[in-house]
Amino acid sequence: MSDEAGAAALDRLARYRFEYETAGLDTLDVHHDPMVQWQRWFQDASDAGCVEPNAFVLGTVDAAGWPQSRYLLLRGADQRGFTFFTNYTSAKSQQLEATGRASMLFSWLQLHRQVRVTVSAERVPDDESDEYFASRPRGSQIGAWASPQSQAIPDRTWLEDRVQQMAATFGEAPVPRPAFWGGWLLRPHEFEFWQGRPSRLHDRLRYSSVPADVEAAWHLERLSP
Ligand SMILES: Cc1cc2nc3c(=O)[nH]c(=O)nc-3n(C[C@H](O)[C@H](O)[C@H](O)COP(=O)(O)O)c2cc1C
């Protein structure tokens, strides 16, 4: 099943134990708006030097009901929700179109923190996708045209040839955004902030949206670890 080095690493898996000594998380300390609280933690993760602090795992469900997860890079966070960019014909985009729902997971393990968010999904307006696409390096712009994301392709050479063809097509001209590429806006439905604490007595705070209640738009409660 596995080679010798792999087997040794697997053997260590069950014995990894880290005590989490970081400060706790209390309902009295967090911001009443979970988006503001998320921004505070994102700032902490950036300040702490976490690798790619804007990386998150997007969870979707495919047509057969299989859960699918993949990392993405967050490109925006504001009062509407979270934004990332991708190919609209990709597997994830088809799953977002079909269900309109997804999960996000931010892992800032250096700080012993994770944030889970359940979201509804919609495409961002075209002008936002245009603006972001124009800001990308030219190589990434050409790559977006060349790659039929999530489809099976014959080999690496096939992809490299496509890149060459696209580069020749555009020459020195600006590369426009392909209609099949753009952003998704993920509107939060529920947040859970998790802070590791000693003896596995972790802190978990959940914000649930209360759409009918304008006074308190989010209901905050503590969950058992
Ligand atoms: C750290 C990291 C960041 C990524 N960021 C993106 C991204 O912003 N957009 C994207 O389309 N794919 C990104 N990918 C690739 C995706 O994980 C995935 O392979 C790709 O989007 C195809 O997924 P799908 O077939 O489920 O649609 C990233 C991968 C990693 C490891």
Q: Taking the model in full, what pTM does it have?
A: 0.93
Cβ of 68 less than 6 Å from ligand 1? yes
For residues 192-216, average pLDDT:
87
Give the residue-averaged pLDDT of 181-193.
98
Percent of the chain at pLDDT exceeding 90: 83
Q: Which residue has the higher pLDDT, 46 or 17?
A: 46
Name the residue of 50, 68, 73, 83 whose CB sits within 8 Å of the most ligand 1 atoms, as the mutation to test its pocket.
Answer: 73
Phi/psi for 37 (5° steps) reads -60, -40
Span from the CA of 104 to the centroid of ligand 1 (angstroms): 13
**Quick check: CB of 61 below 6 Å from ligand 1?**
no
pLDDT of residue 118: 98
**Which is more confident, 41 or 22?**
41
Question: Residue 56: its pLDDT value, please?
Answer: 98
* Mean of all residue pLDDT scores within the chain: 94
Q: What is the pLDDT of residues 78-101, one digit of tens each?
A: 999 999 999 999 999 999 999 999
Beta carbon of 72 within 6 Å of any ligand 1 atom: yes
- Rounded average pLDDT over 187-213: 91
CA of 52, closest atom in ligand 1: 1
Q: Is 55 in the pocket of ligand 1 (CB under 6 A)?
A: yes
Domains observed in the chain: 19-223 (2.30.110.10)
2 Cα: distance to centroid of ligand 1 (angstroms): 27
Q: Judge whether 45 and 53 are in contact, CB under 8 Å.
A: yes
Residue whose CA lies nearest to ligand 1 atom number 26: 92
Res. 23 pLDDT band, cuts 50 70 90: confident
pLDDT bracket for residue 63 (50, 70, 90): very high
Q: Is the CB of 102 under 6 A from ligand 1?
A: no
Q: What is the 3-state secondary structure (H, E, C) of the chain?
A: CCCHHHHHHHHHHCCCCCCCCCCCCCCCCCCCCHHHHHHHHHHHHHHCCCCCCCEEEEEEECCCCCEEEEEEECCEEECCEEEEEEECCCHHHHHHHHHCEEEEEEEEHHHCEEEEEEEEEEECCHHHHHHHHHHCCHHHHHHHHHCCCCCCCCCHHHHHHHHHHHHHHHCCCCCCCCCCEEEEEEEEEEEEEEECCHHHCCEEEEEEECCCCCCCCEEEEEECC
